[in-house]
């Protein structure tokens, strides 16, 4: 199976400035991510950035990087441009790995790509795992999803879904739905390159704007999203200085 890993990386971050260059075990975070991704068996791993310092850091550590425009509104738009620059055929598989996931499991990257390869009727694949905490189930920062019988996404929401028809209002003591029915979405995506190039031209959907979830645009326009159900919870990403220190601790490393 051939697949490519593209890693969008930009310096602008309100909670953690210069995040891709934050040092973890003596290497910039984006380089750590690229090295993990390379262990997935990807045909190539490429960082797509609008920052010369990020491109220079990648070059210094043997990681391929592409310079992309600075005005892209999302990582998906940046990767669409990267697909054009790389000249990828429409049927090529592209996995979008976020540049702030230095603990990403290489096997999960490959599993996401394989899920898409095995479901030719789908344009996108993503990952989910079971929710085992009522607090997490109610948290709007945790994106939930529900799937159909074939393991394809029906809907993504910040609300607790699925929900019982006769359930009372959510409370701290509220139990979870039937075991295994509450799923947390993991922001790892595989795309067919042709669809990824087309995605920025698709009109944003009302549901996407309400939930602030870009993947709802895919469903709104009638495309299918295959879902790989992971038995394990992925390692934490890095959004804040506190996250960075936690990841450094988990990796047993100082800056």
CATH of the domain at 43: 3.90.550.10
pLDDT of residue 108: 97
Mean pLDDT of all residues in 66-76: 88
Provide the number of structural domains found in the chain.
Answer: 1
Quick: pLDDT tens for 187-234: 999 999 999 999 999 999 999 999 999 999 999 999 999 999 999 888
- pLDDT of residue 254 exceeding 80, the answer is no
Q: pTM of the prediction?
A: 0.92
DSSP the chain: ---EEEEEE-S--SSSTTGGG-EETTEEHHHHHHHHHHTTT-SEEEEEES-HHHHHHHHHTT-EEEE--S--SSHHHHHHHHHHHHT--TT-EEEE--TT-TT--HHHHHHHHHHHHT-TT-SEEEEEEE---HHHHH-TTSPEEEE-TTSBEEEEESS--S--TT--S--TTPPPSSTT--EEEEEEEEEEHHHHHHGGGSPPPHHHHHHT-THHHHHHTT--EEEEEESSPPPP---SHHHHHHHHHHTT---
Quick: pLDDT tens for 2-52: 999 999 998 877 778 899 999 999 999 999 999 999 999 999 999 999 999
pLDDT of residue 17: 85
pLDDT of residue 10: 86
**Domain coverage including residue 84:** 3-253
């Amino acid at each position: 199976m051939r697949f490519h890993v593209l890693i969008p990386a930009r310096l602008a971050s309100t909670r953690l400035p210069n995040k891709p260059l934050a040092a973890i075990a003596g290497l910039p975070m984006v380089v750590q991510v690229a090295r993990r991704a390379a262990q997935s068996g990807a045909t190539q791993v490429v960082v797509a950035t609008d920052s010369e310092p990020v491109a220079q850091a990648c070059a210094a550590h043997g990681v391929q990087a592409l310079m992309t425009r600075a005005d892209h509104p999302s990582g998906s738009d940046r990767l669409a441009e990267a697909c054009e620059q790389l000249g990828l055929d429409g049927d090529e598989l592209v996995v979008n790995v976020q540049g702030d996931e230095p603990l990403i499991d290489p096997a999960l990257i490959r599993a996401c790509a394989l899920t898409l390869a095995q479901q030719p009727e789908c344009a996108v694949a993503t990952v989910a795992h079971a929710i085992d905490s009522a607090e997490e189930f109610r948290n709007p920062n945790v994106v939930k999803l529900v799937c159909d019988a074939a393991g394809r996404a029906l809907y993504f929401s910040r609300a607790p879904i699925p929900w019982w028809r006769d359930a009372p209002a959510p409370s701290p003591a509220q139990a979870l739905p039937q075991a295994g029915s509450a799923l947390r979405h993991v922001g790892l995506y595989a795309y067919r390159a042709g669809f990824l190039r087309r995605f920025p031209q698709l009109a944003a959907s009302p549901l996407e704007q309400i939930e602030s979830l870009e993947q709802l645009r895919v469903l709104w326009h009638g495309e299918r999203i295959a879902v790989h159900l992971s038995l394990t919870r992925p390692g934490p990403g890095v959004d804040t200085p506190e996250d960075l220190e936690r990841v450094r601790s988990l990796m047993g490393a100082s800056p």
